[in-house]
Amino acid sequence: MDSQYANAAVRSFARWCRWLVGGLDYPVIERNRDAYARLRCEKELKIVPGATHLFEEPGTLEEVAGLAGDWFRRRLICVEAR
């Protein structure tokens, strides 16, 4: 993504976000840290050790799924239909 558009997108985050980045994806880690610093919402940046960009290494995709699931369970509320 062009950094100009990424900067505009980051400024539009209003509520909360969690970013999951592979620990071996060095260029992406730095870009994400820069963008993360500009966020003005509840935020969390998780670095997944031993993972590259696509989380193809054994166990890393499962770790990302667990981290994402935990994040959403804490933030999404189930409303029963009446």
Q: Summarize pLDDT for 32-65 with one digit per residue, the tens.
A: 998 889 888 888 999 999 999 999 999 999 999 9
Count of structural domains within the chain? 1
Q: What is the pLDDT of residue 13?
A: 62
Q: In the predicted model, is pLDDT for residue 71 greater than 60?
A: yes
pTM: 0.72
Amino acid at site 80:
E
Kindly state whether residue 34 falls inside one of the protein's structural domains: yes
Query: Which pairing describes strands 16-22 and 42-48: parallel, antiparallel, or unpaired?
Result: parallel
Residue 60 has a CB neighbour count (10 Å cut-off) of 20
What token pair was written down for 65? 């799924």
Contact yes or no for 51/22 (Cβ under 8 A): yes
- Domain residue limits at 66: 3-75
Bridge partners of 46? Answer: 20
Kindly state whether residue 54 falls inside one of the protein's structural domains: yes
Kindly state whether residue 80 falls inside one of the protein's structural domains: no
What is the rounded average pLDDT for all residues in the chain? 84
Kindly state whether residue 38 falls inside one of the protein's structural domains: yes
What token pair was written down for 9? 């997108």
* Nearest to 31, CA basis, from 2, 64, 71: 2
